[in-house]
Amino acid sequence: MKKILITGGAGFIGSHLARRMLNLGHEVTVMDNLFTGNKSNIYDLEVNPRFTFLLQDVTQPFWGQFDDIYNLACPASPIHYQRNPVETIKTSLLGMMNVLELALKTKARVLHTSTSEIYGDPLEHPQTETYWGNVNTIGPRSCYDEGKRAAETLCVDYAREYDVDVRMVRIFNTYGPNMHPRDGRVISNFIMQALRAEDITIYGTGDQTRSFQYVDDLLDGVLRLMDLNRSDLIDACRKHGFDIPVMNIGNPAEFTIRELAEKILELIPGSAGKLVFKELPMDDPQRRRPDISLARELLDWQPHVPLKDGLTKTIDYFRTKS
Amino acid sequence: MKKILITGGAGFIGSHLARRMLNLGHEVTVMDNLFTGNKSNIYDLEVNPRFTFLLQDVTQPFWGQFDDIYNLACPASPIHYQRNPVETIKTSLLGMMNVLELALKTKARVLHTSTSEIYGDPLEHPQTETYWGNVNTIGPRSCYDEGKRAAETLCVDYAREYDVDVRMVRIFNTYGPNMHPRDGRVISNFIMQALRAEDITIYGTGDQTRSFQYVDDLLDGVLRLMDLNRSDLIDACRKHGFDIPVMNIGNPAEFTIRELAEKILELIPGSAGKLVFKELPMDDPQRRRPDISLARELLDWQPHVPLKDGLTKTIDYFRTKS
């Protein structure tokens, strides 16, 4: 049994991770300020004696003795993170510093969830971990993107300078139950609109592509990465030119936004919605798709859940929320 | 008379700024932790009753009522900033947050010194302010580059969300008296080697180019930017697609590293040194040159000091240090 801290553990991905860790027999502390996280995501876990909920903002210093810390705290959808850009970037930066300081002092292992957003509007396709990205420092998305970029830098700096055991995943678009129904992101938007028999709003032409990963696939990758022996992992990373583990975790299957909308309309037969098109927001990336060769090789991992199956489960969840 | 705070005011550029501000009749507080700054740079200012020195690290909260805050605190040469990468990135991030919080609470105007390093190893030449840069989040230079990028983001976020009056300059290579003689950067390296009649070490082929700006030119630009009326400035910036002022300040005249070495050898006739070549460090940018159209138009500014004149003054200074 391990003692595990999950920052942002009441959010979409964090709540799945907490549930999975409890099922594996671990002791789980979920820390969340409930800005975008929600108690309803972890309500069923609270009866478990191995579960603790801590209402705490990750930007404020905290203390605790944990074996593993999973750093997931940060609003992740533009509609949320742009509501208070200063708090968003502080969450990434101060949260990361607090996690790394705690890990340094307590010798905890850290899994930091970075994001495909660090690639910005990429000029290379698909994106490998060696691609440096194309991000605007002063745009409306910067509070998230640059906060996440600097958080990666903090991770490698603490790892190199203080030998903190940090592993990073760059998460590409992920979906599933417990997503925030009003997070403004494309899957929740489309499903909610279809369930309400409203028109489906597409920003831009709908020809921009995305890859969509079901949350269970993501967690499989994350757990494999955290289970690896440190020195073996570092050795394997070195062969690929990295001294600190950083890995894309996403589904390389590419769909256009228009295809996604059509698939969702198929799965919700009652929907009367048609597609309507609106102007693309500033700095919205045109295309993003992970190269997952590194995760395939080092973790023997790849996504398994087909989009249709994942969407069906997600739609079932959203029906309870609409 | 204005009350002015200069973080990093005992450093190379900060000490020139402090001197200039005192000469203009202002009251100047220099804050510095003296990690790379040096009391000898401001020794002659300490007798001035309008001058205060504050030994303080910018990462720790501070308070004071100032009209203008100039945020210059950060080790800027790889040899210094890579000595303690964690402290380097914290200086950029926490220092910026502390400055912006103070400005927010006291309604001070902020001049933040960003850097051409936010462009990384640029894929566009020359660099305009709209170029997003090409920076590695996990490389050996990231502690500086990503810290500075996220500091820009903090500036625009505080400006947009809390209406803090922030102005940013992206400073390109700058040189002059008070440079740290052992900062490992190309001008100090070359001059110190030539003065000691040692060989001149060139990293790479020497065909990589740089633009070199004399420190007086930089300060002229910075002062003009800070003197502008805020609403006029914002209006002018908006015409160029920016809602927050950010401006390249540098000298567009391009020289190869080899030309620079030859020029310095000319100016130090006694030197017996010849050029020797070593391997280029990882992630070292091949080329960087500012497009200064924006500063020309908005500030009616351009650099005036020819490289030969600036080098002569700098060599005179280094003679006192060698």
Give mean pLDDT, residues A75-94: 92
- List all residues of chain B from 239 to 268 with a beta carbon under 8 Å from chain A: 242, 244, 246
Sign of CA dihedral B87, B93, B98, B103: positive
B200-247: per-residue pLDDT in tens?
Answer: 999 889 988 888 999 999 999 999 999 999 999 999 999 999 999 999
Is the Cβ–Cβ distance between B268 and B315 less than 8 Å?
A: yes
- Strand duo B209-211 + B254-256: pairing: antiparallel
| pLDDT for A283 beyond 70 | no
Total residue length of chain B: 322
Interchain CB distance below 8 Å, B154 and A86: yes
DSSP string, A178-198: T--TTS--HHHHHHHHHHTTP
Q: Quick one: which of B27, B22, B29 has its CA closest to B2?
A: B27
Identify the pLDDT of residue B14: 98
- C-alpha–C-alpha distance, residues A141 and A115, integer Å: 13
Pair of tokens at residue B188: 């100090």
Q: A152–B138: do the CB atoms touch at under 8 Å?
A: yes
Cβ contact (<8 Å) for B157 and A93?
no
Q: Which chain A residues contact residue B143 at CB under 8 A?
A: 153, 157
pTM comes to 0.95
Question: Can you tell me the mean pLDDT for B277-301?
Answer: 87
CB atoms B154 and A84 under 8 Å: no
Q: Is A184 left (phi over 0), alpha (psi -120 to 50) or beta?
A: left
- Given a cut of 80, whether residue A14 has pLDDT beyond it is yes
User: Do A153 and B135 lie within an 8 Å CB cutoff?
Assistant: no
CA distance B180 to chain A (A): 24
Taking 80 as the threshold, does the pLDDT of residue A312 lie above it? yes
DSSP class per residue in B203-264 = ETTS--EEE-EEHHHHHHHHHHHHHS-HHHHHHHHHTTT-SS-EEEES---EEEHHHHHHHH
Choice among A144, A158, A175, A214 that is catalytic: A144
- Mutate: best of B82, B132, B137, partner A, most A CBs <10 A: B137
pLDDT(A314) > 70:
yes
- Tell me whether the omega of the peptide bond preceding residue A245 falls within 30 degrees of 0, making it cis: no
Average pLDDT over residues A284-298: 88
Closest Cβ opposite residue A157 in set B97, B132, B143: B143
- Pairing state of beta strands A68-71 and A3-7? parallel
Residue B38 scores a pLDDT above 70:
yes
Lowest average pLDDT, out of A66-75, A195-204, B55-64, goes to A195-204
Residue carrying the six token digits 């240090």: B321
Q: Would an 8 Å CB–CB cutoff place A158 in contact with chain B?
A: yes
**Average pLDDT for B295-319:** 97
Q: What is the mean pLDDT of residues A283-288?
A: 70
Domains of chain B (ranges, CATH numbers): 3-175+213-253+284-305 (3.40.50.720)
Give B296's Cβ-side CA count (13 Å radius).
11
Cross-chain residue pair B157–A242, CB shorter than 8 Å: no
Q: Count of H helices and E strands in chain B?
A: 10, 13
B88 interaction partners in chain A (CB closer than 8 Å):
157
The answer to whether A144 is a known catalytic residue is yes
Number of other residues whose CB lies within 10 A of the CB of residue A241: 8
Q: How far is CA B81 from CA B77, B78, B185, B321, in A?
A: 6, 5, 12, 22
